[in-house]
Amino acid sequence: MEKDIYIEAIKFGKDRLRKKITTTSRDLDEYLKSRGFDVPNGNFLNTIFLDVFGTQFMKDRHLPEPAYLNSDAYFKLLDYEELKQARKSSKEAKTMAFWAICISGFLALFSIGLSFYQIKTQTNEIYISQEQFEELKQLSIKSEI
C-alpha cells in the first residue's frame, strides 16, 4: 500500500502528543525524510504542518510555531484507521462467506448423490408371514369398529 505523507504527519503528531512533546516544522521535515518521503521545500511542508498541528490563530497568520497535534487532525487519523479496519474486516467476511458457500454447495451435492445412491441401491425385501398378516387384518377390523 502506498504511503500517504499526510497520514504519516498525523501519526508522527499522535506519537509526539502521547510523549507530550511539541513539534516544529523542522521536526516534521526530518521525520518525513527519515520515512523516505521526498518533501519539497517551501509552502508544502508549512501547509501540512499548519493543517496537522496548527491552531486557527497560527493558520490565519501562517506562523508555524511549536505545537501539538490538533484535534481535527487526530479525528481524521481515527477515521482513516477505522476505514482501514473496516476494509480488512470486509475482506475477511468475504473470504468466510465464500468458504461457507463452498461447504454448503459440497454438502448439498453430497446429499443429492447419497439420495440417488439410496434410490438405485436394492433394498432387502421385507416379508411378513401369513400369521402376521392375519394379526394386522384383525387390528384393522377392530379399529374400524
Give pLDDT, residue 1: 41
C-alpha cell recorded at residue 20:
507530550
Contact between 45 and 29 under an 8 Å Cβ cutoff? The reply is yes
Give pLDDT, residue 64: 61
Give pLDDT, residue 107: 96
Query: What pairs with residue 67 in β-bridges?
Result: 23
Give pLDDT, residue 71: 82
Give pLDDT, residue 58: 64
Contact between 17 and 75 under an 8 Å Cβ cutoff? The reply is no
Which residue stretches of the chain have pLDDT < 50? 1
Give pLDDT, residue 63: 62
C-alpha cell recorded at residue 35:
520515512
Between CA 84 and CA 47 the distance in angstroms is 25
Contact between 58 and 76 under an 8 Å Cβ cutoff? The reply is no
C-alpha cell recorded at residue 124:
432387502
Give pLDDT, residue 103: 96
